[in-house]
Amino acid sequence: MLSQWERWVFIYDLTLKMYPDIAPSVPLEPLIQELQKRVVSGEAVDRIENGKKVLRIRDMSVDLAHRTASLLFNYADPDVPNTVYEDLTTGTQREVVKEENEGGSYCAHMMIALDPIREGGTSYLAVLEDIPGVGRTKIEPFMTKQFKVIADAAPHEYTFTDPNRQEHRFRPIAKIDGSMSQRLRDDLERGEVKGFELVQTRPAQVDYDEFGYTKEVTRTLRLTVKQSLGERALEVIGAVTRRAKQDNFDGVKIRFKRAEGTDRTISVAAGREDVGDVLYTRYEMIDGFIEPMKQATDTLRADMLKKMLALMEEMRKQSSTETTALEEEVAPARAGATG
């Protein structure tokens, strides 16, 4: 359920892949410039799910000073039930009935870096507001379709010559994946482990019908935590993963509650060492809004963008630090190879 005073965001990597994959890479910024033109003209819209629902970019801005693009996605779904409000004192309910050709409307802010995470790379940091129905599984194909329209309209820019001197058209494909930047050790400093689920995916030699048409393909074992683990959390998690491997389980799902109150579940391989260093998609709360957040709006919220930019800058700094550390680690090896 959405709150008007706080929102959650995912940190993602938006990667530009090419089709066909032998085509040369293209930078994101020119695509963003063309996409903004489509937003202004009202063309950045797509009917999805057999034309019943609509996804569009309702507003968009480009901040060259901070090297970001901000998009306001709007999802309209006619299958959403009518909204019902209740008087907190009397309990009287009031239903707001949708009119013909209307659907429930939801908006999600998204901020994308214009420069790649690594120099010369094809992946870009992205921050996406977590709104039901407006997740990456809808945005990814939507962006890919928009990029195809842009590429089709500029054949001279999206044509390459292969080694056999044959010309081919190509187009960018958007791929959105979790930015593996959140560390289990950090979440458990103030969080709490709630339980484990051990998973075995090897087919068992057991038939569950007399004709042998069915068989067990997965087996799970759920473990609850009797008391707060506190500082021993990582030690206990390590013991559970090691025992899981001994008992021929393939993976362990760890359920925990973050300090902010959200529940998360992550999966690790049975027997995994240094489990505290497991990385997963970062998920952060944004709050402190002066005006309440709406379920849907026509324009980007400046206060929301300011808070998303702060997260973006933090991630950029982290990426820069990791790149510097990697270069320092590789430099001696390069020197030895050339010396």
DSSP 150-189: HHHT-TTTSEEE-TTS-EEE-EEEEEEEE-EEEEHHHHHT
Q: What is the DSSP string of 232-290?
A: GHHHHHHHHHHHHHHTT--EEEEEEE-TTS-EEEEEEETT-SSGGG-EEE-EEEEE--S
* Pairwise pLDDT comparison (333 vs 140), residue with the higher score: 140
- DSSP state for residue 230 in the 8-state scheme: G
214-232 average pLDDT score: 72
First to last CA, the chain: 61
- Give the per-residue pLDDT at 338: 47
- Give the per-residue pLDDT at 264: 84
* Pairwise pLDDT comparison (13 vs 229), residue with the higher score: 13
Confidence grade of residue 337 (pLDDT, cut at 50, 70, 90): very low
41-57 average pLDDT score: 96
Which helix (H) or strand (E) is 113 found in, with range? strand 104-113
Whether the pLDDT of residue 332 is over 70: the answer is no
pTM of the model: 0.77
Average pLDDT score, the chain: 88
Confidence grade of residue 188 (pLDDT, cut at 50, 70, 90): confident
Alpha helices in 49-163 (DSSP H): 136-152
Whether the pLDDT of residue 209 is over 70: the answer is no
Q: What is the pLDDT of residues 106-130, one digit of tens each?
A: 999 999 999 999 999 999 999 999 9
Distance CA 137, CA 177 (A): 10
* Lookup: tokens for 42: 């009202």
Beta pairing, strands 167-169 & 159-161: antiparallel
- Give the per-residue pLDDT at 326: 45
At position 271, the amino acid (one-letter code) is G
Counting residues of the chain whose pLDDT is more than 90, the rounded percentage is 60
- Give the per-residue pLDDT at 270: 87
- Give the per-residue pLDDT at 45: 98
Positive/negative CA dihedral, 160, 166, 171, 177: negative
Whether the pLDDT of residue 42 is over 60: the answer is yes
* 310 three-state secondary structure: helix
- DSSP state for residue 132 in the 8-state scheme: T
- Give the per-residue pLDDT at 189: 82
- Give the per-residue pLDDT at 220: 81
Question: For 307, what's the count of Cα atoms within 13 Å in the CB-facing half-sphere?
Answer: 19
Collect all residues with Cβ–Cβ distance below 8 Å to 227 and sequence separation of at least 6: none
Distance CA 292, CA 248 (A): 51
φ/ψ bin of 51: left (φ > 0), alpha (ψ from -120 to 50), beta (otherwise): left
- Bond preceding residue 292 cis, omega within 30 of 0: no
Closest by Cα among 16, 15, 41, 7 to 109: 7
Distance CA 88, CA 287 (A): 25
292-315 average pLDDT score: 96
